[in-house]
Amino acid sequence: MREDRVNAAGEGAFTAARALRNVLTHLPLEAAAAALTEEFPWLTLLPVEELPQFIADFTRAAQIAAEVGQWSVLTQAVREWKATAAVYADPALLRRLTEPLTDDFGPVPAPVDVDGDAG
């Protein structure tokens, strides 16, 4: 692909992400959630009070991804929220992950630095 086309594609993605952010920001929460739920049906598994945070995280990740040209940022945000929805879909897992810890799980190992030496 020619450099001018790559630059235009990047600018187009950035413009689209900004427009998406503005649209989602100005829509009523219910409308924004409904629009995103069409694309991500697993959003129905999240508690309603979590939807504003998903919308905020999604729009911010889309803008960041477009600005730096790394769509993995948006992919990661969606992947993490989808995993959260999967937890909410499994009541036993949700209970285990949200109940207080009462057991002693033993000593915590010392941190290790990048070179592999104990820190």
Q: In which residue are the tokens 């990048």 written?
A: 114
- Cβ distance 36 to 55 under 8 Å? yes
* pTM, to two decimals: 0.72
Per-residue pLDDT 10s for the chain (119 aa) are 444 454 555 678 778 888 888 888 888 988 999 999 999 999 999 999 999 999 999 989 988 888 888 889 999 999 999 999 999 999 999 999 999 988 888 898 898 886 655 55
Give CA angle at 66 (44, 62), nearest 5°. 15
Tell me the sheet residues that pair with 118. Answer: 112
**Residue 99: phi, psi to the nearest 5?**
-80, 155
